[in-house]
A and B are shown apart, each in its own frame.
Chain A
Amino acid sequence: MSLYQVQKLIYQLNRDPRTRQRYADECDAVLGEYDLTPEEIGALMKPDIGLLYVLGVNGQLLMHFAALHRIEWADYLERMRQGLREHGPVREGVYATTGYEGVAAHDARLKAERETR
C-alpha cells in the first residue's frame, strides 16, 4: 500500500500539463517514477475509479483524475459506489461511508419542503 505515492502522481497530473503529456506519451515511464504496487498501477491505468477510491485517494484529487479521463460527474459517483460494492470499504485515508440517500431523492425531498413553506 502506497497511497501517498498514488496521490502524488495524481496531484502532479492534475497540476502539471507536461506531466499529463508525458503520461499520455509514455505512461509506463511515468508510473515507474513512483513506488506503486501492481494493484495501484492497474487501478491507475484502467482507470478503475472505484478501486482508487477504495484505496483511499482523496476525492479532491480523484475527481480531477476522472475529469482527465472524460468521466462525467454522475458516472464518477457511480464508479465509486461500484468500487465499494466490488472491493469493500475504503481502506485508508479520510473517508467513511455514511448511507446517503442520493441527490435525486434528496432533491425531491427539498422540493417538497419548499412547496410547503
Chain B
Amino acid sequence: MPPTTQPEITRHEYDVVVIGAGGAGLRAAIAAREQGKRTAVISKSLFGKAHTVMAEGGAAAALGNANADDEWRVHFRDTIRGGKFLNDPRMAELHAREAPERILELEYWGALFDRTADGRISQRNFGGHEYPRLAHVGDRTGLEMIRTLQQRVVALQQADAAELGDPEARIRVFAETAITRLITEGGDGDAPGRIVGAFGYRRVDGGFVVFEAPAVVLATGGIGKAFRTTSNSWEYTGDGHALALRAGAGLINMEFVQFHPTGMVWPPSVKGILVTESVRGDGGVLRNADGERFMFNYVPDVFRSQYAETEEEADGWYDDPANHRRPPELLPRDEVARAINTEVKEGRGSPHGGVFLDVSSRLPAEEIRRRLPSMHHQFKELADVDITAEPMEVGPTCHYVMGGVRVDADTAASDVPGLFAAGEVAGGMHGSNRLGGNSLSDLLVFGRRAGMGAAAYLDGLGGRPDAGAVVDRAASEAAAEALRFLKQGDGENPYTLHAELQETMNDLVGIIRRGPEMERALERLDELAERSLMLSAPGDRVYNPGWHLALALPNMVLVSRAVTAAALERTESRGGHTRDDHPGMSPEWRRVSLEVRSDASDRVTLTRRPVADIPAELLGLFEHDELAKYLTKEELPETVAADEAAEEGQS
C-alpha cells in the first residue's frame, strides 16, 4: 500500500476523459471512441453500478409505436410544459428530435425493451407525457440501459483488441476512481483557463492518478446526498457540479431540485428509496388517510384543461385515452409532491407520515407482478408489504437536480474550454422540473453530443497542448490536499458533518422554502464549509470510506451553497422550487435563469441570464391561452398568428 507521506501518482494520457460511468458518461465515451479518440471513463463505483440502474420507469422517446399521433413536437411541448417554460428550448428540441434514434440504437446494441403486439418497442404512460411514450423493460429500464451501454463499451474494446492488439487501446474504464480536481491552464480574471487534465484517487488502494487530457466530459450525475431523504445513492455528492464551479464554469437553475412524489417512508432505514412513477402510469392511485383520491383537489390552473375532474373520467383514460382526460395522479412530479406534502401537513397522512399509493385494488395480482416486478420485490423484502394486496405508504424524496453546468445545447460545451457536461450534471434541458422518462433519453442524446463535442473540440485544437508541467504541479498540490484529512488526527468525524449538512438542506431548503430559513441555511453552510476543512479520517488509504466521505464533503457543501443562494434569490414558485413566501409564478422570473459561479474560497455569486426564446414555429405548438399563463404580455405572439401556427403544428 502506498505510504501516506509520499504521494505516488500514476500518470495517464488520454484525448478525452469522461468523468462518470452512468448512462451519459458511457454514451459520451462511446461517441468519443467512435470518433477515434483515446478515451478514459472514470467511475466512482464498479463498472455497471452507476446510479442509472436506479431508473425504473423508462426512456421517453416519440417513437410513435403505441400511439401513431406522437411525434417529436408533441414531446417537445410536453417537456416545455413540464419545465414551466424555463427550459433551454434548443436542448428540449434536440432531445425530442433525437431520442427515438438513440433508443433504436440501444436496441441495435442488444437492449431488450418490452414489445408491442406487432413486434416494436412498447411504450408506457407517464406523468406529463401526452401519449404513451416511455420505452421500458418492466420497471428496471435503467439497468437495461446501463448494461447495454456497458456491453457496447466491451464490444468496442473487443474490436480494438482485434485491430490493435489491446482491448484498452482506445477506451478504458477506471473503476472505483474518483476525480477531486480539474486542472486548467492559462485564464485570467475574466476568462477561465482551458482544461489540461484531471486528478483523482483510486478507492481500492488509495493511490493517486492524474490524467493529462485536453478535454473532459462531466457526467457525474446529481447532488441528492446533500439531502437527508433522497432516492440517490452515496455517489451523488455533486462532484461534477463542484468540479465545474472550481474550474470556472457557471451552473444554472440550481434552485430547482426535484422531489419525487413517491419514495418509501417506512421503515426508517429505507426512507427515500424510489417507488416508480410507473405505479401511477399503470393505474395506481393516491389516497389520504380518509380514503379520498385527493389529487383531484390539486390540479393547478395551467393544467386544468388536460386533467380529469371525476374518478370515472380518470379511470376511463387508461383504456380509452382519446375520449377521456388524464387522471390527476399523472400531473408533473412537482405538483404531486407538493400535494402529498400538503395532505400530510394538514393531518391526512398515513401512519408513517406519507400517503397511500394503491395499485392492489386496481390491477389483478398477476398483472402487478408482471408489470412492476422490482417494486413488488422491493416492498416485500424491505417493508414486508405485499403490494398486490395492500397499499404502499409513500412520500416525497429528493430525486433529481434540474440545475447544472451551463452548456451549449449542440456541443455540450461549458464556458471552460475543453470542459463538457451531459446528463444530470448539465443544466437547462429540463427547465424548472423534469418529466419522468426524460432523464434516460437526456443521458443518451446529450451524452452522445458531449462525446462528439469533445472530439470536435480536439480536432479544432490542432495539436495536443504540452501541459505536462502544469499538470504535474497541480497533481502534487492536489495530492497533498487530499492526504490532509488522513493526518489531522483530532479533526471532526465526517459522518457527523454529513448528517448535519443533510439536516440543514432537508429542513431549510427542502420541498417548501422560506426566505428567512434559507438565510439561516446559508449561515450554517458557511460554518459547515469551515468545518469541512478540519475533517479527520482515521486509518490508511486502502478502501477507507471515512476518507472518501471527507474528500466528497466540500463538494456537497459547495453545491448546497449554490442551491441555497439561487433559491433565496428567486422570489417566485415554479417547478422544483416552491417558496412559501412567494407562492405565485411570475412571468418576469420566467425570462431569467440564475447562474452561480464560485471563487477560490468556494464562495458563490449569482448573475441573471436571460432564458432563450422559443422559436416562433415551436411557440406555435401552444395555445394562446396557455402561453398567456406563462409569458409576459410583450413576449406573447399576435393572437391570430399564434392560433394559425398552433393548427399547423398539430396537423
A joins B in a complex: no
